[in-house]
Chains A and B, each alone.
Chain A
Amino acid sequence: MSKTYYDPADLRKFGKITEWSEELGNKFFDYYGKVFEEGALTAREKSLIALAVAHTEQCPYCIDAYTKDGLQRGITKDQMMEAIHVGAAIKSGATLVHGVQMMNKVDKLEM
């Protein structure tokens, strides 16, 4: 048994999830593949969105996968970092905007 929760080699085994639930697994991968095709957004734009979300979700597999995907698409380091900052800004903004709730509650509770 692995001594860590995450093993980089497990990313290669992602496709195996279909073995324990073929129909749902296949539906997921069909959907996943379709999502990342060229559409109203380019495959490149989608790759950058995926990279940003990979970071906000803090998924090490997704970070590995979409960093490599970005390099393959010729996406530059500064473009990748900017995308991550977008994710970080939303994540921190989402935290901070709850400060309004705190302020509302304080205002309600204090005399």
Chain B
Amino acid sequence: MKKSLQARNNDLANTQRQLEILSNGIFKDELPTFANKIKETNQFPLRPKKLEILQINLGYMCNQVCAHCHVDAGPDRKEIMTTETMNQCLDVIRKTDAHTLDLTGGAPEMNPNFRWFVEEASKAGIKDFIVRSNLTIIRANKKYHDLPEFFKKHNVHVVSSMPHWTRGKTDKQRGDGVFDKSIKALQMLNDVGYGMEGSDLKLDLVYNPSGAFLPGDQMALENDFKKALKNDFNINFNSLFAITNLPISRFLDYLIASENYEDYMYALVEAYNPTAVENVMCTNTISISWDGWLFDCDFNQMLNLKVNSKIKHISEYNEALLQNRNIIINQHCYGCTAGAGSSCQGVVA
């Protein structure tokens, strides 16, 4: 299995290095910076709107090492949220105005206190409780086989990555054998009612392009996925979210190594859609890292760009103060404003 950039001592494991790349080169004289681009439509500085989503990263450990991963997650990553930070998160979850709680990772299920945290968090009565599951974790070890039942018990909304409906494309991006395990896991989720017609148990899939190109029309892709997964494996799901790969971390490494970086950035800038800026996820989300730091989004978290606010840590959380901040932007933000836009909930425009 491949290793994370961090384990390989790759230059790009240093977030400052990533920001240098994104701030220089073609953005010195050829392409407009994201800040200048949104200034054209008087959308600078980018400001939060109503807080709707708390996204909590329970740790960077994962059973997979996906080629495009913006977290640089993998089995060698040991950053895991402690119960102390989880308790601080629970205090916030109990009093937040956000209607959605979104747990992510790594594989959030690999946090040893994941189930306790879900049980406690579900008591807070959040309207939409999302767990981002990579699917294969359900098949990775016997101790995870009952996750579908556990999710059902706590009425968790499962959002799962599935790069393609074919084995070849899926395994190339996510590793050998991932497709077969994902199919089995989807069938297990269907068996307990997830994604089935008439069921309240929601199962959504996330599609990321498996290469240096942007996602196509979300609805067309959803139709293709639904048709293929139903015909080939009798699998049902609710919606497909098409998410653009942002040029950071392992995907940035891939873009540079494959000499696709400049073309990809041109494609993102050319596809810039000012309407998408209105609804980018950083305007309605707070992202919390495994060690309790606060960020505008999961991507800024991975670039270690903490919120531009006096309140920077979950231990001092104050929603009103946090909402009065300017969102930190850089050229990676073009990934969320290309075409129909991209967020953890798919298109935004």
Contacts and interface: CB of A to CB of B under 8 A. Distances in A.
Interface of A: 8, 12, 42-44, 68, 71-74, 76
Contacts of A12: 266, 270
Interface in B88-104: none
A44 to B, nearest CB: 7
A49 B266 CA distance: 25
B266 A71 contact: no
Contacts of B75: none
Contacts of A74: 164, 216, 220-221, 224
B215 A76 contact: no
Contacts of B209: 71-72
B211 interface: yes
Given A73-B220, A74-B164, A68 B266 contact: no
Interface in B147-189: 164, 166, 169
B166 A73 contact: no
A74 B221 CA distance: 7
A73 B219 CA distance: 11
A71 B211 CA distance: 9
Contact of A71 (B213, B217, B220): B213
Most-contacted residue by chain B among A43, A72, A73, A74 (CB, 10 A):
A74
B252 interface: no
Given A71-B209, A74-B164, A76-B166, A43 B220 contact: yes
Contacts of A73: 216-217, 220-221
10 contacts: A8-B263, A12-B266, A12-B270, A42-B220, A43-B217, A71-B211, A72-B215, A73-B216, A74-B216, A76-B166
A59 B263 CA distance: 19
B216 A72 contact: yes
Nearest to B214: A72
Interface of B: 164, 166, 169, 209, 211, 213-217, 220-221, 224, 263, 266, 270
Contacts of A68: 213
Contacts of A72: 209, 213-216
Contacts of B220: 42-44, 73-74
Contacts of B221: 73-74
A85 to B, nearest CB: 19
A14 to B, nearest CB: 11
A74 B224 CA distance: 8
Given A12-B266, A74-B216, A76-B166, 6 more contacts: A72-B214, A73-B216, A73-B217, A74-B221, A74-B224, A76-B169
Contacts of A43: 217, 220
Interface centre among B214, B216, B224, by most chain A C-beta atoms within 10 angstroms, is B216
A8 B216 CA distance: 22
Nearest to B165: A74
A68 B166 CA distance: 18
Nearest to A8: B263
A72 B220 CA distance: 11
B242 to A, nearest CB: 10
Most chain B Cβ neighbours within 10 Å, of A12, A42, A43, A72: A72
A49 B214 CA distance: 20
Contacts of B213: 68, 71-72
A72 B208 CA distance: 10
A44 B213 CA distance: 16
A70 B224 CA distance: 13
A71 to B, nearest CB: 5
Contacts of B263: 8
A43 B164 CA distance: 19
Nearest to A15: B270
B339 to A, nearest CB: 9
A79 to B, nearest CB: 11
B167 to A, nearest CB: 11
Contacts of A44: 220
A44 B224 CA distance: 11
A43 B263 CA distance: 23
